[in-house]
Every structure is written in structure tokens, then in C-alpha cells.
Amino acid sequence: MGSVGNTVLARAGLFFRTRAGDASPLARHGAIMFVSMAGVYAADYLFHVSMSRLLGPSDYGALVAFSAILLILYVPVNTIQTAMARHTAYLDEAGQWTAIGPLAVRTMRYFFWYGALGCVALALMSPTLSALLRIDDPLPMITLSGRVLIATTLPVVRGAFQGLQMFVPLGVNLVLEHVSKLAMGIVLAWAGWGLTGAVAGMVLGGAVALAAALAAFRPLVRAGGETPLSPVVRSAGAIAVAMSLFLVATNVDVLLVKALFAPAVAGYYAAAGVAAKIILYATWAIPAVVFPEMVRGHARQGGGHQFLFKGLAASALGAGGLLTAYLVAPDLVIRILFGSSFLPAAPLLGILGFGMTAYQFVFLMMSYEQARGRNRTFPFAMLACIVGFVASLGVLRAASLTQVAWLMALWAWIMCGWMAWLVLWPAWTEQARARRPRAAGDA
């Protein structure tokens, strides 16, 4: 990037870029994000524990349903952040760092209006959606609509941080959002606002994080330069399809249980689902760190597969440790996370954790394909597995939460196997082909 570029980045407060001669930037970046995600999960854990006790099983089940809707609405977040990170990494690799700030501003303005339309649409649909989820008051859903506007602006800056491998400001911003959500949610729920207050905490936490991200990124905007917006918009469309399918796959079971079972029973499944998703949250740092490396590897040599295999190995270790705890001591985990009143959720924890382990591998393989600009090979497989889960749930007429959990885990591993055939085999072949000339030369 050059000394001038490094000076601008240093003044922007964007620390810990890969230094020349650094033998293990991947490990260092992974450690930064691991610590950050530990802080995120600690705050999120305290939020859910506090809300489960302040709201009770029925309203807490509704809050988790709102969280599931929010995750599905986070398609813009993951889409924009991934597209921005990918294009930022390419620009940085090419030495065009001065174009990154202006590109972020243009991207934010472009997607802001889509966020505004989504915010209004969700607010107008709030009475209908609340009725479908058996929630009497539409005000919590109306409050949630404000988060859509933040979902189309905040990920632009976070994507630039990720693409530039600025993991310190990215990690700090993630922690700030969840700590703010925790503090504001507790205060508002305790003050008598109940479910609406908890949802407002989620919205206000995002607003605080957005303000902080804009303040940290401002010096880069002044760096000058220009680049077309079209590559980000084009890649965002393909990424949106994949992200939509992934988020639906990991949340459709919670929404169906909320619609088909009694509120208290659905609350137990929701609690087990939140605990199982810790596997995704705790290992999120791995794809976040390896993604820019995969983009750079592809830009330099058409490669990047080595980072996919490193990421899968690290994910297996992290997810395997958590899954073991879920299988060995589910009662203890549920009691610690949610209290004794949620113990009926314990038998579901290991099953749902088994499914989330498969989804973690799916997400990493999906990230590899996106880093290479290949988004057409796997969406059909994901859609087919989602339809298969919903159809099997209807055909078998699952009458218990355990049956629903097993069906979710089964289709998660079918999806993982299908993705492995589409992605891992070509990557493995590519890696073997890359090693062959080196081995011949050594001989």
C-alpha cells in the first residue's frame, strides 16, 4: 500500500494491518476476532439471560422469534458487508486504497434508500406478522422495523474494515453494538416496557455502533480517489441469494415451531435454538478472517483453497468442543444460560448443536465460493434442502419438539454433504494440481 497509505490508515485509527515479515497474520487476526467475538457472545448471553428472566417464557419466545426475523432481515447486512469486503480486498491488493473511502460513501447512499423502504414496509406489515406469531401487540414489531435502516448502512463500513483486514476496529464495533443492546434492553424492559423495550434495545444498540463506525471511518473518506459502484452492486445481488437461503435454513425451524406449538413450548425450543447457535457465533471469527485472505489468494494466483482447508479444520475444533459440552451436560448448559425454568429444552440442545455444526461448515464453503466470485453452484442445493425440511415436517406431521430438531439436523447435514461435493472436491483437486509441479521440481 505504501508509506502514504499506511499513514492515512494509522491516522484513521485502523490498527494491526498485516506487517511485513509477519509470519502468522492469519493467527493474529484470528486471535483478535476470537477475543472480540467472546465479548460479543458474553454480551449477547447476558442479554438473553436477562430477557428470559425479565420477560418469562411466553414473551421470551416472542423475542427469539423477533431475533429470527431480524436474522433473516440481516440478509442486507451480510450481503453488503461481504460484497464490500470482497471489493475492498481487491482494491487494497491492487494498491488502489484511496478509492475505498469514496466507494464506501457511494455504497452507503445507494443502499440507504432500500433500507428506508424496507423499514416502512415492515412497519406496515407489523399487525399481520404479529398476528401470525400469536403476539397481541404490534408495537414490538413496529419498533423492530427501525433496525432495517441500520442494516443497510452499518455493514458498508464493517465490510471495508474486513476487506482491509482492520480487525481491531471491526471487533470493537461489534462488541460496542452488543454491549449497548444489553444495557439499553435491560433498562427499558426493567422500566416497564417489556417486550417492546427489549426490541428497542436491539435497535438502539445498532444505532450506537453505526455512529461509532462512521466516526472511525471518516479519515479514509477524505483520502480521495474514485471507483465505480457497479461491481459492489452486481456482486451484492448474487450474495444476497446465498445469504437469504442460509439465514432461512438456520431460522425456519424456530419460526415454524412458534407458529405450530403453544407459546410456552415454543419458548423452550427457542432457548435450545439460541444455545445451539453459539456454535455459529463462536466460530464466526474464522470465516471473517479467512475471507479477505481467500479473496487476495484468488486475485494473486487464482487460489485461496489453502485458507478454506485451514478454516474448516479450525471450525471443526471449535464446533466439536461446544458440541461435546452440549451432548455431555445439556442440563447444566441450559441451567447456566437460561435458568431451571427452561430445563425442558435440554434434550434438544445436542440435536440442534449437531445441526448447527453442519451449518458452520456450509457457511465457510459458501464464503470460499463468494471470495472467488462463484455464486451459482450452491444456491439450488441450499433451496432444495430447505424445501425438503419443510416438506418432511408436514409429511411426517412432527408432533414433538424432538422430531422437529432431528429433522432440522438431518437436512443440515444433507446440505453440508451436497456443498462438500460441489465445493470441496474441486478445491482439493486444485490444491493437488498446484502441488504437483512443485514436487516434480524438487525431484
Query: What is the reported pLDDT for 73?
Result: 64
Helix (H) / strand (E) containing 441: helix 425-442
3-state secondary structure at position 94: coil
Angle between helices 100-132 and 194-221 (to 10 degrees): 170
Measured on CA atoms in the order 76, 66, 197, 190, is the torsion positive or negative?
Answer: negative
Query: What is the reported pLDDT for 400?
Result: 82
Query: What is the reported pLDDT for 2?
Result: 42
Return the residue matching grid coordinates 433473516: 72
User: Where does residue 29 rank: exposed (0-12), middle (13-18), buried (19+ CB within 10 A)?
Assistant: buried
pLDDT, tens only, 241-267? 888 888 888 888 888 887 778 878 888
Question: Quick one: how many helices (H) and strands (E) in the chain?
Answer: 19, 0
* C-alpha closest to that of 52 among 185, 191, 248: 185
* Grid coordinates of 335: 441451567
pLDDT, tens only, 265-285? 888 898 899 899 889 887 878
- DSSP conformation class of 136: S
Query: What is the reported pLDDT for 433?
Result: 64
Angle between helices 230-260 and 346-371 (to 10 degrees): 160
Query: What is the reported pLDDT for 15?
Result: 38
Return the residue matching grid coordinates 448471553: 45
Question: Residue 250 contacts by C-beta under 8 Å, 6 or more apart in sequence?
Answer: 71, 277, 280, 356, 359
Please report, in tens digits, the pLDDT of each residue of the chain (443 residues total): 444 444 444 444 443 344 433 445 777 887 888 888 888 878 988 888 888 888 877 778 778 777 777 766 666 667 788 888 888 888 877 777 777 777 888 888 888 888 888 888 888 888 887 777 777 778 888 888 888 888 888 888 898 898 888 888 898 999 999 999 999 999 998 888 888 888 888 889 999 999 998 888 776 665 555 555 556 666 777 777 888 888 888 888 888 887 778 878 888 898 899 899 889 887 878 888 888 888 877 776 666 677 888 888 888 998 999 999 999 999 999 998 888 888 888 999 999 999 999 999 999 888 888 887 776 667 888 888 888 888 887 777 766 888 889 999 999 999 999 888 888 777 677 666 666 555 444 44
* Angstrom distance (rounded) from CA 321 to CA 314: 11
Query: What is the reported pLDDT for 350?
Result: 93
3-state secondary structure at position 15: coil
Query: What is the reported pLDDT for 4?
Result: 41
Contact between residue 282 and residue 156 where contact means Cβ atoms under 8 Å apart:
no
